[in-house]
A and B are shown apart, each in its own frame.
Chain A
């Protein structure tokens, strides 16, 4: 039987194994996601040279990150595959579901529908950048308290949308919140609780 602290196997390193087996330990600090601290290109051992690569500089969660990317790479894929920031999810890669919602200069946008290299002068905020010093953002806490998620896959996008929705002032009534949160699909159907969370965080 495999145990968590056995030596690593070829193909994945120890840090990955921690990410896999941590299941939200009650009361104990969860190992910080490495992607959240990344400041340099990941996977340095990979010899593949990206064809037509471009050097870009991206400001993500108040950190400036320099990297070489494929010019065709979406902002979403750059976050997930290059920077290992997997908090932002790919639901459809076509702008139909909202799971990839992030903030660009404080406005909520879909990271799957835009090329990373076009955002070198923008301030990008992802779900990883929302909490401060380990304290959940009020919207995040409201989501937890109101059970505004189930499987959690759409949740990053929902939270980013909810933060923006409140900032935009589109939270004046239940109907308005429903309409302005309709850009984030939740297949588990947590919708009514998401509304509750937005209202709670709006107070």
Chain B
């Protein structure tokens, strides 16, 4: 293996830094019309009247769609399961503009189609709408008193899980803790806005859309329009950020496709940044009541979590599944983890980076920290004492687990031994200093994928696979894997992706691309290698004729056994073949269900708090991660950084603010919704342990993309507690939450 584990620069790097990459809605299309959605200014109710005369009078307006004239669209099926990525892919059961109802703030109520963006935008402003608002009473966080049963939780997980006798065990415990934790509504806000370019040709539709799941979009759009899936092509070679939000098919894609058909012009509609706050899903806020029963020596007997997540009124789903990750983190024999939902006027929730782990490990790692102070026990020692040697939820052994080493290495790098356990005892230059830590974990999943490998007679190799590049570096690691498993120079390898005409793969979500698409690439290359060798050994004119296939290998583009050899180009030339290609589809195997595979990590944080103003700043973060073999340390490290930045946003500054009198957003723009900027990020020292995982898969990799940052929110709040004695149980931090220390 030469290329795997090399920290190669991204193959698309030179193009990305030169502005040469074409994202879906950059593509130049002839005769393009531009569309502009108009959004509702109430969160619930109906459109009483809508007048478009002034808008239509603008020169260049082609057509205006409202619920009165919008073509019929079907509701896409939404029974999402991570274990069946070929299945449902709809994001929202509710399709806007099919009737006069408003189900959430910013819902589309009209679509202007015009010759230019300026005309469409101005016409949109001229549409006159009268609403009939339906009032309600609303709160900042989901109220457990309004909780209802979940429709489903990721299609297969139990919303109500227990093992042992959690309540009885809690009652009998020597030390009991009961706390409530809340997390906030959050928005993905990728830098590239969602949007659709729809082009019809007779009955066939081509959709350019930034999506993390081209096949899901193909199916979902076809279902919305009521047309055969085969007549829809989705193209998405590069995506400007997804974070879980561009996987499922949002309603705008079907609406734009239908509108394009009506006006008989290729149509491009990019959502406004504001619309990304209302119309494409979000991370649900959660409210969790947590109980922990333990012994004085730190043994945790029972953990009980009851979470209420906010959900829409038209589909009672939850993706911010706080109750899943805590089930397998520790050794507690007794556990209850129940999730319910409280409906409010919002669009259907959507997974957002580390969905469930983000809030679930926030509450778990916070309550463990509270327990450690109550027991006067070091937080790391408490976790080690309750180390789960196997996954207690599934009762399966781990493929590998080096969490204890993550703690040890992280503690050493961080200088954890300098910690004075007494709260508010550490200071620096007049500022209070706090240290905090937390565990992290993320599962390593696998889903079947297919790929094609093709050797051309000029010596170049193509890997053709219908996956999408969302910024994780998929097209780079595919080249590395192919180079090693096929034995050709990486410079000759080209990756062709992002089109539903190519072999089918699962979505780029849940950090399983390396384990799924990556292993498929390895296997299809092995298959191609075998076929090429056989091509040589069956050719009488070849020096390798008659040799056993197993005795030969390909190295540097040459078939060889150490003594005899033939270049691949020669093999093809002699066989009179312009190219040789092969396709392979991977499958689930029973072996995969015999063990549990997860990545693990330990987070350490130092904060400083101004004792006069109570304003907190992050000073440094150390993270150590157990992710198996790392195919490309450069891109994998970037994933860790990205995850940490996301977690910093969730811990310190991001929150959707709503006007509780009408449930409308108060900060639906990037000026008010505070995603992290450069100045928010402290020194990040993030590293991988050097262990491969031979049990996990043939590449020996575990998940990377969503592990970074998991648990970090708790580590930050634990550090703030250590500095100030104030326990923040409701994210995010806000300066007023520490005002009580300001004297």
Residues in A lying within 8 Å of B, measured CB to CB: 1-2, 9-13, 15-16, 19-28, 30, 33-35, 42-43, 45-46, 48, 50-51, 70, 72-73, 77, 80-81, 84-97, 99, 126-128, 130-131, 136, 140-141, 143-145, 147, 149-156, 159, 177-179, 181-195
Contact = CB atoms under 8 A, between A and B. Distances in A.
A24 B463 CA distance: 13
A192 B684 contact: yes
B637 A151 contact: no
B31 A16 contact: no
Nearest to B464: A1
Contact of B22 (A86, A155, A192): A86
A193 B17 CA distance: 14
B60 A51 contact: yes
Interface string B561-594: 0000000000000000000000000000000000
B308 interface: no
Given A81-B117, A136-B18, A150-B472, 4 more contacts: A12-B199, A147-B635, A147-B637, A192-B641
Contacts of A77: 117-118
Nearest to A150: B471
B13 A144 contact: yes
A94 B270 CA distance: 15
A101 to B, nearest CB: 12
A-B complex: 5 closest residue pairs judged by Cβ atoms: A87-B19, A189-B645, A151-B471, A153-B240, A152-B16
11 contacts: A23-B237, A26-B11, A42-B28, A45-B31, A94-B669, A130-B18, A141-B17, A144-B9, A147-B9, A152-B12, A187-B243
Contacts of A46: 31, 115
Interface in B475-501: 475, 479, 490-499, 501
Interface stretch (B47-55, B105-113, B188-196, B383-391): B188-196
A12 B29 contact: yes
Contacts of A50: 60, 116
A15 B30 CA distance: 10
B644 A187 contact: no
Given A73-B118, A187-B189, A145 B12 contact: no
B238 to A, nearest CB: 7
B272 interface: yes
Contact of A86 (B15, B19, B189, B272): B19
A96 B670 contact: yes
Interface stretch (B398-406, B427-435, B521-529, B673-681): B673-681
Interface string B225-242: 000000001010111111
B675 A185 contact: yes
B719 to A, nearest CB: 19
A64 B116 CA distance: 23
A25 to B, nearest CB: 5
Contacts of B34: 81
Contacts of A34: 28
A50 B34 CA distance: 14
B114 to A, nearest CB: 9
Contact of A94 (B18, B199, B670, B675): B670
A179 B646 CA distance: 19
Contacts of A126: 19
Contacts of B116: 48, 50, 70, 81
B679 A152 contact: no
B138 interface: no
Contact of A30 (B10, B20, B193): B20
Given A23-B12, A96-B671, A185 B191 contact: yes
Contact of B679 (A89, A128, A143, A178): A178
Contacts of B670: 91-92, 94, 96-97, 185
B601 to A, nearest CB: 16
Main secondary structure of the interface of A (DSSP, over half): loop
A81 B118 CA distance: 11
B191 A99 contact: yes
Contact of A193 (B189, B479, B638): B638
A143 B13 CA distance: 8
B63 interface: no
Nearest to B647: A189
Nearest to B273: A92
Contacts of A128: 18-19
Nearest to B643: A189
A153 to B, nearest CB: 3
A197 to B, nearest CB: 9
Nearest to B241: A151
Contacts of A33: 19-20, 22
A130 B20 CA distance: 12
B469 interface: yes
Contacts of A21: 237, 496, 499
Contacts of B498: 23
A149 B13 CA distance: 8
A10 B201 contact: yes
Contacts of B397: none
A5 B295 CA distance: 70
Given A50-B116, A193-B638, A92 B684 contact: no
A157 to B, nearest CB: 9
B23 interface: yes
B27 interface: yes
Contacts of B637: 147
Contact of A182 (B272, B469, B678): B678
B59 A189 contact: no
B663 to A, nearest CB: 23
A97 to B, nearest CB: 5
Interface in B190-238: 190-193, 199-201, 206, 208, 233, 235, 237-238
Nearest to A198: B678
Interface in B1-45: 9-23, 26-32, 34
Contacts of B235: 20
B684 A153 contact: no
Contacts of B23: 86, 153
B634 interface: yes
B470 interface: yes
A51 B59 contact: yes
A96 B19 contact: no
B15 A11 contact: no
A72 B115 CA distance: 14
A77 B31 CA distance: 17
A11 B475 contact: no
Contacts of B642: 150, 188-190
Nearest to A70: B118
Contact of B479 (A26, A51, A88, A99): A26
B22 A20 contact: yes
Nearest to B265: A11
A184 B237 CA distance: 24
A168 to B, nearest CB: 15
- Which residue, B15, B17, B192, B241, has most C-beta atoms of chain A within 10 A? B17
A87 B15 CA distance: 10
B19 A11 contact: no
A27 B30 CA distance: 30
Contact of B237 (A20, A51, A90, A181): A20
A159 to B, nearest CB: 6
B356 interface: no
- Which residue, B26, B469, B676, has most C-beta atoms of chain A within 10 A? B26
B14 A144 contact: yes
